[in-house]
Amino acid sequence: MRRKQVKQFINTKWFPSFLKSNIREFLDWFVLKVNATKPFIPIIEEGLSYTKNKNIVNIDFNLGAGIKTVTPFLDAELSTENLKIKKFNTEKNGLYTCINSFHQLNQEEAKQVLTQIAISQNPVVILEGNNDSLWQIVGMTFFVPLSVLIMSPFVKPFRWSRILFTYLIPILPFVIMIDGCIALLKLYNPKDLEELTSDIIIGNYKWEFGKKDNGRGGKIMYLIGHKTL
């Protein structure tokens, strides 16, 4: 497995919480603004086809660019609830999702989560809007910090702290870029996902993984786990 488990600024205890909040808010706002999660919807709909319970149980890391960036594109009749990763369990029935956050788990943690879901016989969809391509690294290094500099005044809710730490003390563009680049190193690509799930053999449960076009020249990565019908 090529991925690396490296801490990001947003994972540390010492990095100020108000700066973490600014980062989360920027990511939520920006990802929604560019419809970056819209290509996730067909895969989520496929996952929902494997359960009669039209409920989404989202595994929540509270890091930004998560389920909030997906719900505007979902059927209004679906119910969605967040399940904090620290309190993870499979007591609820429905489609389990993890949006742009699965890379935060190390291999052992990731395997434990997937195994529990497979045992519960609920479907699961893991989605990452980033991928492991060279273009993604170029974009994260140049386009992302430039976007922070251009877009920060328009992010809602407006915060003077975001203006201060974007322009006068440019911590946010730097940290968002560095954390983004580190996140690329932590991504589970399809080969990693195949290795991760190869020995999670639970009855009639199967795994599917791969990449799909995002409609803008890039790729999203996904994993679907479900009962065989």
Q: What is the 3-state secondary structure (H, E, C) of the chain?
A: CCCCCCCCHHHCCCCCHHHHHHHHHHHHHHHHHCCCCHHHHHHHHHHHCCCCCCEEEEEECCCCCCHHHCHHHCCCCCEEEEEEHHHCCCCCCCEEEEECCHHHCCHHHHHHHHHHHHHHCCCEEEEECCCCCHHHHHHHHHHHHHHHHHHHHHCCCCCHHHHHHHHHCCHHHHHHHHHHHHHHHHCCCHHHHHHHHCCCCCCCEEEEEEEEECCCCCEEEEEEEEECC
pLDDT at 139: 77
In a domain, 71, yes or no: yes
pLDDT at 142: 86
In a domain, 104, yes or no: yes
In a domain, 124, yes or no: yes
> What is the residue range of 204's domain?
35-132+187-227
> Which tokens is 61 given?
């890391």
In a domain, 145, yes or no: no
Token pair 């996140």 is at which residue?
Answer: 183
Q: Is there a contact between 137 and 181 (Cβ–Cβ < 8 Å)?
A: yes
Q: Is there a contact between 91 and 65 (Cβ–Cβ < 8 Å)?
A: no
In a domain, 65, yes or no: yes
In a domain, 197, yes or no: yes
In a domain, 217, yes or no: yes
Find the Cα–Cα–Cα–Cα dihedral 192, 195, 198, 202, rounded to 10°. -50
CATH code of the domain covering residue 207: 3.40.50.150
Q: How many domains does the chain divide into? A: 1
Give the pLDDT confidence of 158-186 residue by residue, as tens digits.
Answer: 999 999 999 999 999 999 999 999 999 99
What pLDDT tens digit does each residue of the chain (229 aa) get? 678 889 999 999 999 999 999 999 999 999 999 899 999 999 999 999 999 888 999 999 999 899 999 999 998 889 999 999 999 999 999 999 999 999 999 999 999 999 999 999 999 999 999 877 777 788 788 888 999 999 999 999 999 999 999 999 999 999 999 999 999 999 999 999 999 999 998 889 999 999 998 877 788 999 999 998 7
In a domain, 161, yes or no: no
pLDDT at 206: 95
pTM over 0.75: yes
